[in-house]
Structure 1
């Protein structure tokens, strides 16, 4: 019986040893009361690298780092196991090859039935991977904390579920002005404007973040010093693993400067678009006016000849007069279009603004009526402006008429002027220099933004069908631009409108350009005239008018054809050429003729005011549409 029990115990002991040896995830071994290793399993061999024959009989302290051995940690672990019945801890251990691994260690004392210490059971687990992961996470959290704390362009902070501030970064301090000790524990609604707090905006932001998973908005916020800034705000809820709301992450960015810069950029883009639009419409208007002037030249020229040759019949005379008046209305329309396109003929001179306004005061009062009070305000230091008197008077009358229509129940019209020095003001689009700012201000209905944006467009009008051409303001715009100035229109609905004409200050020696008209009945000898125009209708009409005056006319449809006629030994006394022609312009033709016949008089006929330089700028010019009287006058000037 005793032998059987011994055999059973031996089998159980062998099974237990096989079990221990089979464990490879734990180092399980025995040490005697002095710390000498007395057993070694497969797990210990895998973790620590020692074969059983190498390590049995060695002291277990060899697994500790040198620093821990010097600090007495091996013995302290055994003492703790004896004193408390168990030792458990974590720390760095050393493998056979000298590499370190992080281990979790349990040491249990082994006692016999009498309580005598037989040794210790030691279990070690390699937790290096977990330790590395923890260290990486810790380092990541530290780096993230440092990153958040170092950000100065964003206010990044946390809120408790009830909205109290729980932390505060440098960006929050810079943007909002509070130090951490001043704001942590305070409710975040402190940053909202009073009106937003009264409207419940702070709680609404948190409710949306909880309900939708995110809140984002742009709104005004308040700094510690009471100043306001435009903020872009994002609020995200923070939840635990179970979905419990832990608080909120709040990110705020000061976008005041960026928004203002964007607004300036938008205004600049709008101004550029407006300038490009006006330039494009101006080019279109100028081209239309040029072609229309050619047609009017033909119509008026032929009407004039027909009238001279028609029988003395009142009915026919009335028809001719009516047709002529209609054509002259077309002339007025094209002149306004050319004014907008900055291609009208201007006779610039030094203009005293107070004198000019005083000269048309009577006309203004009769046009505006008794319900409108006219007031003038002129600076004592006001300098004369460089302008065309007739065009400037017409511009003021146009503006005054618009003001009257905006004040159906009466009001006040203020005409003022002062000298301004422009240095660098891109918003005015004016070259540096001195300008006279002539303002016409009314107390009328004013314009909304949409109407104001289109007010200077040609043919745009708010006066209804048949009550205006829509060219008044566009004409003023083109007139001031052609002078090198600027027309600025300011208006506010139900407040009134101010129109500003910025005109260059006249030079000290500015004088009126000499008049080109001669006496209508000047006697001019019979001439041989070369007429050049690519428009056959204009060419025929001009030739007929000249022939009716008794001149001999030779015509050419192009510059090249005209030059060819000089080889045919024609003895021309005068050349009248259109300015705008394909391939060879009138200016180029005039230059070529000057080479052949240096002293031959040349007249440039034009549908609008081209910019000319050199000798061409000094040549007589015949503006289309022209009458026979205009031809007599310009021929007399050219033949002097």
Structure 2
């Protein structure tokens, strides 16, 4: 008797929802916690099959669970939703034991609605983390990756299944130089709990990317760091445009300086050239040594004036008229000149497409632009190689280069199989007077002048180079 009284007291006072139900689908008895949670009177709960109170979306799962109970199988951690008196639904977590001899089910339920709401919010937040274009990852204290969102997969190329559990340092950095700041970052996290700055990292394909990186320490209940949240924003293109903008400013400043110097040098060299011509023509034929030296003075003065004209062309831009013209004759003339003057070890290939569009520009300037690129390609292949000139129609929708505009272009690609351009000097190749050639072998103005000519007609140029495999210049000429 005492045992029965204790059981009854436990049934009435339990904060968990307790009930006795029949295999016929009706409640036989419910405790006060059951009534309080759902808001229904006990009589109302006992009057109808309990499936009437279950959310319609959970009917199938509930019927399946009932069939299991009818075979004598216990229910552990089954979830469904029950309708409250005010029309809302509460999530319940069930544990049930069947008594087949009495055709009864003894069950307890716990209201887990708050937990479900938290889970839903977490799912929504996780979805937002996957929507963002930022790369978000979590590193544990051993620098192993424990979270990897879709933004990280898009930026770096590794899917979450590939990145999870991997060392972040080994995955994102290919050299000691790339994560040289790691110790300083860790010190900042320990001291201030956060760090922000720019990092150079590597993708799955080995491509270098620059990111604006924010690191935040995640603390446990005791206030100790248990992991690190890292948010990386890809700024590779932004840095590239900034470098191009700074280069354009530098070129403008150098152009202004060079223009003034060119005028002064022209004033100095013009009388020297005129005097050398008079000196040469006025000397008797017997003065062979003097006549030869006069010729040397004349030739070098003329070379100096030609250089000055290139400088003025670069600083002031091309002032000649631009018209609609076809590229085929220019390419034909260029190819003929290359085959006649370039070493035979340089194999030339020229490719054009049918229906190649006309371009807006000046034939002399376009010839000079392509010739400069071909000469550079020849010099990059002292032992010989392949020089390829290809022309095709192209449409630029979203330009990524400074001075580039959307529109239709004729794209001329000049490629070589030479040594390539070292990464450290690529940002400087369009600077005036910058050259890696030996003294006397180049002026360093070829690419600068080519860039100025292209800008004057509305075109632009792009370059790709790989050490040991060659260089490719893409010249975009505005189509008519």
Q: TM-score, normalised by structure 2?
A: 0.55
Offset of residue 342 of structure 1: 4.1
Aligned position for 2:165:
197
2:246 maps to 1:273:
yes
Would the aligned equivalents of 1:236 and 1:249 in 2 still touch at CA under 8 Å?
Answer: yes
Give, in whole Å, the separation in 1 of the partners of 2:145 and 2:420: 41
Give, in whole Å, the separation in 1 of the partners of 2:297 and 2:228: 76
**How has the CA–CA distance of structure 1 residues 490 and 322 changed in structure 2, closer, same or farther, with 3 Å as cutoff?**
same
Offset of residue 440 of structure 1: 0.7
**How has the CA–CA distance of structure 1 residues 423 and 174 changed in structure 2, closer, same or farther, with 3 Å as cutoff?**
closer
Residues 170-185 of structure 1 correspond to what in structure 2 (within 5 A)? 171=125, 174-175=128-129
Give, in whole Å, the separation in 1 of the partners of 2:349 and 2:473: 15
**How has the CA–CA distance of structure 1 residues 501 and 270 changed in structure 2, closer, same or farther, with 3 Å as cutoff?**
same
Offset of residue 233 of structure 1: 4.3
Aligned position for 1:478:
452
CA RMSD of aligned residues (A): 4.2
Residues 150-549 of structure 1 correspond to what in structure 2 (within 5 A)? 171=125, 174-175=128-129, 190-191=146-147, 194=162, 197-199=165-167, 232-239=215-222, 252=229, 255-256=231-232, 259-260=233-234, 262-315=235-288, 316-343=290-317, 346=320, 348-422=322-396, 425=399, 427-431=401-405, 433-505=407-479
Give, in whole Å, the separation in 2 of the partners of 1:505 and 1:313: 59
Would the aligned equivalents of 1:238 and 1:248 in 2 still touch at CA under 8 Å?
Answer: no
SS in 2 for 1:191: strand
Would the aligned equivalents of 1:342 and 1:482 in 2 still touch at CA under 8 Å?
Answer: no
Q: Give deviations 1:410-432, integer Å, cap 9, x for gaps.
A: 32211011233456636352455
Q: Give deviations 1:182-236, integer Å, cap 9, x for gaps.
A: xxxxxx96426656725498xx99xx89x9588767999xxxxxxxx98844232
Structure 1 segments unaligned to the other structure (5+ residues): 1-144, 153-167, 178-187, 221-228, 240-245, 507-640
SS in 2 for 1:238: coil
SS in 2 for 1:502: strand
Would the aligned equivalents of 1:286 and 1:343 in 2 still touch at CA under 8 Å?
Answer: no
Give, in whole Å, the separation in 2 of the partners of 1:173 and 1:252: 17
Aligned position for 2:8:
none
Give, in whole Å, the separation in 2 of the partners of 1:373 and 1:275: 35
Give, in whole Å, the separation in 2 of the partners of 1:345 and 1:313: 46
Aligned position for 1:116:
none
Give, in whole Å, the separation in 2 of the partners of 1:173 and 1:484: 44
Residues 107-186 of structure 1 correspond to what in structure 2 (within 5 A)? 171=125, 174-175=128-129
Give, in whole Å, the separation in 2 of the partners of 1:426 and 1:248: 41
Greater strand share, 1 or 2? 2
Would the aligned equivalents of 1:385 and 1:435 in 2 still touch at CA under 8 Å?
Answer: yes
Give, in whole Å, the separation in 1 of the partners of 2:349 and 2:312: 31
Would the aligned equivalents of 1:480 and 1:503 in 2 still touch at CA under 8 Å?
Answer: yes
Offset of residue 480 of structure 1: 1.9
SS in 1 for 2:420: coil
Q: Give deviations 1:466-522, integer Å, cap 9, x for gaps.
A: 32222221221222223332233322222321122222335xxxxxxxxxxxxxxxx
Give, in whole Å, the separation in 2 of the partners of 1:388 and 1:174: 53
Give, in whole Å, the separation in 1 of the partners of 2:145 and 2:236: 29
Corresponding residue pairs, total: 314
Give, in whole Å, the separation in 2 of the partners of 1:477 and 1:379: 25
Larger Rg: 1
Offset of residue 357 of structure 1: 1.8
Give, in whole Å, the separation in 2 of the partners of 1:431 and 1:294: 39
Give, in whole Å, the separation in 2 of the partners of 1:276 and 1:200: 38
Give, in whole Å, the separation in 2 of the partners of 1:191 and 1:485: 45
SS in 1 for 2:476: strand
**How has the CA–CA distance of structure 1 residues 347 and 319 changed in structure 2, closer, same or farther, with 3 Å as cutoff?**
farther
Give, in whole Å, the separation in 1 of the partners of 2:247 and 2:416: 24
**How has the CA–CA distance of structure 1 residues 334 and 489 changed in structure 2, closer, same or farther, with 3 Å as cutoff?**
farther
Offset of residue 273 of structure 1: 0.8
Give, in whole Å, the separation in 1 of the partners of 2:245 and 2:251: 10
